[in-house]
Amino acid sequence: SASDMLVLRARAMECAGLMCLAVGRNTCAHVLQELVGLAMAGLQVDAPELREYTFGFFAQMAELMGAEMGPLLPPLLPFLIRAIQQEECTELAPADQARILAKLGRDADGEDDDELEGLEG
């Protein structure tokens, strides 16, 4: 189905970025322009999962390219701003929130647990 293809496309974008990181800039330089073009095209599709993985791809490209990522930022920024402004979000159940906060060493109010303060240093 079309939905399955978008999920496949999202995962392929993620894999492409990870492979580029794994092999290094010099090895993948000849495909970077094409990958970036495909990623930018993917951002124009109304598919949250594709958008999420495409942003991950660009994070990987930033790690790979460093300061050379600069020219890609102006066309990327409108998509980032639009994503931030969207109201799509996942809400966690209170029990899941508490479990995650406990793993982070925080209580339900988001403050550091007193027990962990003595462990630092």
Q: What is the pTM of this model?
A: 0.69
Residue type present at position 103? K
Matching residue, tokens 């209170």: 94
Question: How far apart are the C-alpha atoms of 118 and 120, rounded to whole Å?
Answer: 6
Q: Give the C-alpha separation, 63 to 46, whole Å.
A: 26
Q: Which residues contact 107 (CB under 8 A, 6 or more apart)?
A: 101, 113
User: pLDDT of the chain along its 121 residues, tens only?
Assistant: 788 898 899 999 999 999 999 999 999 999 999 999 999 999 999 888 899 899 999 999 999 999 999 999 999 999 988 888 876 656 667 887 787 778 777 665 555 545 444 444 4
As a residue count, the chain comes to: 121
Helix orientation angle between 48-65 and 2-23, rounded to the nearest 10 degrees: 10
